[in-house]
Each structure stands twice: as structure tokens, then as C-alpha cells.
Amino acid sequence: MTSENSYDGWVRTRQDGAVLTVTLDRPDQLNAQTPATWSSLAAIGDALTDEVRVVVVRGEGRSFSAGLDRSMFSAEPGTPGGLGDLGRRPTEEAQEQIREYQRGFRWLRQPGIVSVAAVQGHAIGAGCQLALACDLRVLTDDASLRLPEPTLGLVPDLTGTSNLVELVGYSRAMEICLTGRAVRAAEAQQMGLANVVVPAAELDGTVADLVAALTAPPVGASRATAALVRSAVRNDPDAQDAAERAAQVRRLQELVGGR
């Protein structure tokens, strides 16, 4: 069964059984994002059903996402969603607003799903952080990732720093963030930001093959294994060993019908 929906902020979805595809659909502006984009992404995460096992995040057109819509850089008071307007709010109110923005990204690593970013062209700023928010990334050979926020007097604040450090380590993340330089596809694969790099013409087929492989194992085993991999990032060895034991016993009990 297939279902399609459109959301504010130039976002649309298509669900085919266990696979949900989320597409940024503003190709004339290189899929530039606004607060409405992030609210829609959060709403999609809130509405996720247990049927969904894989979420694919894409950008329509020649770029994944060139980052913030230029209107957001306005310093004029009253500009909806503008950074200047956000900076004039009381501290707690401004932080709570950013927390809401972050919800549009953080759900992509929630239990029960595996998320895949299909990245072509530019993934800059918020676009890069959206790709980093996913579990896996497939890049075209012309793709580049960039976090220019510090060069603009800002910081990456859409969950990007923790995800980047997790993927490439402390020193590489520090250099990438502070210089704001572009990380091109070949380097991204070498450092572990990209799972695979393919010619643009092969992006759709490669993502489809990956999705098929991700949905092939039994759902219970797949979700339990994904949970273990996620917890391994932060657990010490003893805690992770215990998590493995507990997860395996639950799987065995389910398989033999004991519980």
C-alpha cells in the first residue's frame, strides 16, 4: 500500500509499505530550509507508525539542501523565523524554539527505524546536519558536505555536532566545523561520513538496493541489532556486553515462544 502527503516548508512524503521517503521539494531554491521545514519534519517523526522500518531522506533536483533560506538571515525585527528575531527573544524562549527545530532532525535516529540520506550536489549547513542526522548516507560523486555556521558568526545547532563527532572523531569534527570547508564525496567516504559514493545516475538504484537489504532481516532482529549498535557508541564494554546478553535472550525467548 502506497500513501503520499505534502507538508508546509516544501516537504512531501511517500510511504511504500515499510519504507517512508521524505523529500525536500524546493528544487528552484536548492531545497533551502525554513522553520516550517523543521516543523514538518518533526510532525512526520511524530506521526511515524510501527510499520515503518526504513526512512529515506532526499532532496528534489540537483542539490540535497543548500541550508537555510536566505530570508532567515534578516536582522530586521519581526521577520518570521529570522535569526535576528530569535536573537531578540528571552534566553529560555529562544532556546526552547531551537529545541523545537532540533526535533525535526533527532527523530531520524529513533528506535525502530534506520534512516538513509540520499545526497547529491550540495549539503550545506542545515542540509549537512540533516544528512548527518541519518544513520547512513549514500552520496553521489559530485556531492559535498559543509558546516559554514562558525564562519557566519553562528554555531551548528540542529544536532550536527554530536552526530559529526560520533562519525569522524573529535579532531576531524573540530577541523571541519571551525574551518567551514567543503568535504567532498571521496573524502567523506574515506573518513566515514559516506557509506558509499556512486555516480549520480546510480543514486536511486543504490539506495533501493540498500533499502532492500535493510528490510530483509526479520523485523525484531533488525530493530534489536540497530538498538545495540546505537548503544555501543556510548556504553562502556561491560554495559554493552550486558545489553547484548539481554537482547539475545529476548530474541531467543520470542523465537521459541517462551515469552
Among the listed residues 190, 228, 230, 189, the one whose alpha carbon sits nearest the alpha carbon of residue 206? 189
Instruction: Give residue 250's domain range.
Output: 219-256
Same domain, yes or no, for 239 and 195?
no
Same domain, yes or no, for 224 and 112?
no
Q: Are 24 and 56 in contact (CB under 8 A)?
A: no
Candidate list 60, 93, 96, 149, residue with the active-site label: 149
What pLDDT score was predicted for residue 74?
75
Q: For residue 225, give the CATH number of its domain.
A: 1.10.12
Largest Cα separation within the chain, whole Å, is 64
Q: What percent of the chain has pLDDT over 70?
A: 97
Same domain, yes or no, for 210 and 228?
no
The SS3 call for residue 16 is strand
DSSP state of 114: E
Give the chain's length.
259
Q: Are 146 and 182 in contact (CB under 8 A)?
A: yes
What pLDDT score was predicted for residue 17?
96
Is-catalytic flag, 51? no
Same domain, yes or no, for 157 and 182?
yes
pLDDT at 258 over 60: no
C-alpha cell at 210: 540498500
DSSP state of 172: H
pLDDT by residue (tens digit) across 62-81? 999 999 998 888 777 666 66
Q: What is the mean pLDDT of residues 95-99?
A: 96
Same domain, yes or no, for 154 and 238?
no
The SS3 call for residue 176 is helix
Same domain, yes or no, for 103 and 118?
yes
CA 76 – CA 73 distance, rounded (Å): 9
| Mean pLDDT of the chain, nearest integer | 95
Number of domains present in the structure of the chain: 2
Same domain, yes or no, for 47 and 140?
yes
What pLDDT score was predicted for residue 79?
66
Same domain, yes or no, for 147 and 207?
yes
C-alpha cell at 49: 507508525
pLDDT by residue (tens digit) across 148-201? 999 999 999 999 999 999 999 999 999 999 999 999 999 999 999 999 999 999
pLDDT at 259 over 60: no
pLDDT at 145 over 90: yes
Q: What is the mean pLDDT of residues 16-43?
A: 97
Same domain, yes or no, for 60 and 125?
yes
pLDDT at 226 over 80: yes
Same domain, yes or no, for 226 and 172?
no
pLDDT band at 82 (very low <50, low <70, confident <90, very high): confident
Same domain, yes or no, for 153 and 241?
no
Parallel, antiparallel, or unpaired: how do β-strands 144-146 and 183-184 relate?
antiparallel
Same domain, yes or no, for 124 and 232?
no
C-alpha cell at 177: 566545523
